[in-house]
């Protein structure tokens, strides 16, 4: 699919790193590096502006390498970019490690996954269909 994009960053467009990747890595666009102290969060600009087709969303997901090696996550993971959003795409990073982490300009800080979504119209009801699960949840099926 095609998505119109304005790139006001100094970097290349987000891109798939391998042929069948679901996510496109997106780069930080920073005038200077940002230091994240332990448990500190920051909204990281990308310099990208999208026009997502109606019926689709873009999910902003963490990168497992940054998470594993440095404890870097995304606070609102997965972030949601709405089809009607015209502002700059930003990534809300958090440092979940016990050491400082420096986000560099051009660093691949997240990955974008484009997904189809439904638009729901609620249908108020008096009762719902019966199921085996019923209202069981939160471990109701056991652990083994
Ligand atoms: O990781 C994110 C999440 C959101 N956004 C932008 C696009 C999205 O369409 C808009 C609103 O996001 P969301 O609905 O998650 O935030 P909100 O707190 O509900 O704000 P709003 O009241 O503006 O919807 O912010 C980003 O750039 N990055
Ligand atoms: Mg919202």
Domain ranges of the chain: 5-116
Residue 118 has a pLDDT of 98
Residue 110 has a pLDDT of 98
Sign of the dihedral defined by the CA atoms of residues 50, 70, 77, 18, in that order: positive
Q: What is the pLDDT of residues 29-69, one digit of tens each?
A: 999 999 999 999 999 999 999 999 999 999 999 999 999 99
Residue 124 has a pLDDT of 98
Residue 93 has a pLDDT of 98
ipTM: 0.99
Residue 112 has a pLDDT of 98
Point out which residues pair with 101 in neighbouring strands: 36
54 CA distance to ligand 1 middle (Å): 16
DSSP 16: E
Q: What is the pLDDT of residues 1-25, one digit of tens each?
A: 999 999 999 999 999 999 999 999 9
69 CA distance to ligand 2 middle (Å): 31
Of all protein residues, whose CA lies closest to atom 19 belonging to ligand 1?
A: 80
- Tell which atom from ligand 1 comes closest to the C-alpha of 60: 1
- Of 47, 56, 79, the one to substitute when testing ligand 1's pocket (max ligand atoms within 8 A of C-beta) is 79
Residue 76 has a pLDDT of 98
Of all protein residues, whose CA lies closest to atom 1 belonging to ligand 1?
A: 79
- Measured between alpha carbons, how far is 26 from 90 in angstroms, rounded to an integer? 10
> Which fold is adopted by the domain 5-116?
Deoxyuridine 5'-Triphosphate Nucleotidohydrolase; Chain A (2.70.40)
80 CA distance to ligand 1 middle (Å): 6
Q: What is the pLDDT of residues 75-122, one digit of tens each?
A: 999 999 999 999 999 999 999 999 999 999 999 999 999 999 999 999
Of all protein residues, whose CA lies closest to atom 6 belonging to ligand 1?
A: 81
Residue 36 has a pLDDT of 98
Sign of the dihedral defined by the CA atoms of residues 68, 113, 75, 41, in that order: positive
- Measured between alpha carbons, how far is 8 from 48 in angstroms, rounded to an integer? 6
- Of 85, 92, 111, 115, the one to substitute when testing ligand 1's pocket (max ligand atoms within 8 A of C-beta) is 85
């Amino acid at each position: 699919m095609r998505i119109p994009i304005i790139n006001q960053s100094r970097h290349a467009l987000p891109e798939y790193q391998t042929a069948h990747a679901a996510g496109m890595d997106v780069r930080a666009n920073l005038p200077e590096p940002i230091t994240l102290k332990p448990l500190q969060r920051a909204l990281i600009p990308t310099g990208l502006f999208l026009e997502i087709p109606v019926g689709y969303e873009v999910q902003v997901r963490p990168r497992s390498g940054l998470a594993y090696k440095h404890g870097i996550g995304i606070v609102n993971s997965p972030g949601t970019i709405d089809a009607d959003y015209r502002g700059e795409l930003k990534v809300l990073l958090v440092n979940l490690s016990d050491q400082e982490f420096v986000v560099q300009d051009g660093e691949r800080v997240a990955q974008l996954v484009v997904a189809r979504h439904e638009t729901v119209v609620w249908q108020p009801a008096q009762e719902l269909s019966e199921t085996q699960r019923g209202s069981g949840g939160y471990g109701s099926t056991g652990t083994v």
